[in-house]
Structure 1
Amino acid sequence: MTTLLLVRHGLTAMTGPVLAGWTPGVRLDERGRAQVTALAARLASLPLAAVVSSPLERCAETAEAIAAGHAEPVAKIETDERFGEVRYGDWTGRPLKELAEEPLWRVVQTHPSAVRFPGEAGESLAGAQHRAVSAVRDWNARIAAEHGSDALYLVCSHGDIIKAIVADALGLHLDQFQRIQADPASLTAIRYTETRPFAVRVNDTGGDVAALVPEPAEDGAGKAGLGSDDAVVGGGA
């Protein structure tokens, strides 16, 4: 039952008005630094087996703040390009108000699985989801092999990538991923079992996180004698 904690980077000056994409040098602003400092304090006591980051600066800074604020020293922040932002091609660096006038914008909102962003460097949303979900599967296997199946690890990534990973975990078609929200400095938790993932938290921006640590199995099974991949009937906690 490897648990993945997905963190979106904190606010930057470009977050919201501009599609930053892979624009170099986009760093956290004062608001973003305050957000990730508060998030680091919330996560400080969790036993993180690894901290992994997108290579982009705003994610690296977020991951560094979480690692620095952790109760147990984090030996190294791993970087995985597969958790990097969607490659928006010619849309990169353009204002969102301007992009909303493009015919492709409506397709992005209603039929994202059909979208490939314009330009030589443009990526399809389906391709971005595939690389990100493949990275999650690889890291799940690595973390379980090195730290046991009840380990937690953290990945710092970007809004569309996190939404795409959550859609996969929920068994949703990519065309539904715009129904998912991932705010700056938000926390999303997904617990992966042998048969299916469980979305434990989505777009969480406050509150206690102690319950994210898996409880030891009882009598060789999961909580309350259930199998490790069983959901509690009736939606109970």
Structure 2
Amino acid sequence: MITLLLVRHGLTELTGPVLAGWTPGLSLDGRGRAQASALGERLAPVPLAAVVSSPLDRCLETAGAVVSAPGRAAPPPGGIRPDERFGEVRYGDWTGRPLKELAEEPLWRVVQAHPSAVTFPGREGEAMAAAQHRAVAAVRDWNARIAAEAGPEATYLVCSHGDIIKAVVADALGLHLDQFQRIQVDPASLTVIRYTELRPFVVRLNDTGGGVSGLLPGPGAPAGGEGDAPVGGGA
């Protein structure tokens, strides 16, 4: 039962008003650094078998705050491991444009209602379905790798981007990609998925301040088997 901690990067000067995408050299601003620091301190008690990150600066900085947080007993093996598959969706010609402007584009409504049909415009534009596929494939690869490196009960962290995390959560919930806009992932939020042989369990979603005692190593699988959901909801 591998536990995946999905972290969205902290705020940048573009987060919110502008679609940043793969804008180079975009770092956390003061708010984002404070968010990342607080998140790192909150996660310090949780043993991490690895920290994986999108290669974009804002994610590497957020992951760095987790790795170097005061109170972390030991840094994760291998430091921060970049993986381009967790990089932001490639929004093509939409990159760097204000969201208010993009909301007037005909494609905006398709992104909202039928994202599985969307390929962003321009030579660098990516299909949303392709972005989900690469991210989910990366999660499966890392689940197997972490289990081999640290055992089947290990926990690791991935720092990524809003739409990528939403796409991974949609897959874990068994939702069609067209439903992923119903999921919210705020800056510096924590989402937790436990992967068992039977099914994934979405343990937390968009957590921006909860305690972490439930993420520490604890008792084994519930009655019925590791992948079974407790009838009645459990304790």
TM-score by length of 2: 0.97
Q: Corresponding residue for 1:20?
A: 20
> What stretches of structure 1 of length at least 5 have no aligned partner?
none
Task: Name the amino acid aligned to 2:74.
Answer: E
Q: Corresponding residue for 2:87?
A: 84
1:137 aligns to 2:162 (yes or no): no
Q: How many residues align?
A: 232
Q: Corresponding residue for 1:72?
A: 74
The answer to whether the 8 A contact 2:198-2:228 is kept is no
CA distance in structure 1 between the partners assigned to 2:40 and 2:143 by the alignment = 22
CA distance in structure 1 between the partners assigned to 2:161 and 2:143 by the alignment = 19
> What stretches of structure 2 of length at least 5 have no aligned partner?
none
CA distance in structure 2 between the partners assigned to 1:41 and 1:20 by the alignment = 27
For residue 137 of structure 1, report the CA deviation from its aligned partner.
0.1
For residue 71 of structure 1, report the CA deviation from its aligned partner.
2.6
CA distance in structure 2 between the partners assigned to 1:226 and 1:72 by the alignment = 34
Secondary structure of 2:49's counterpart equals strand
Task: Name the amino acid aligned to 1:42.
Answer: R
> Structure 1 residue runs of 4+, over 4 Å off?
none
1:10 aligns to 2:10 (yes or no): yes
For residue 195 of structure 1, report the CA deviation from its aligned partner.
1.4
Q: For each residue in 1:167-206, what CA deviation from the matched residue of structure 2 results, as whole angstroms up to 9, or x when unmatched?
A: 0000000000000010000000000001110000000001
For residue 100 of structure 1, report the CA deviation from its aligned partner.
0.1
TM-score by length of 1: 0.96
For residue 215 of structure 1, report the CA deviation from its aligned partner.
2.4
RMSD of aligned Cα (Å)? 0.9
CA distance in structure 2 between the partners assigned to 1:202 and 1:147 by the alignment = 25
Q: Corresponding residue for 1:199?
A: 202
CA distance in structure 2 between the partners assigned to 1:151 and 1:8 by the alignment = 21
For residue 216 of structure 1, report the CA deviation from its aligned partner.
3.2
For residue 210 of structure 1, report the CA deviation from its aligned partner.
1.5
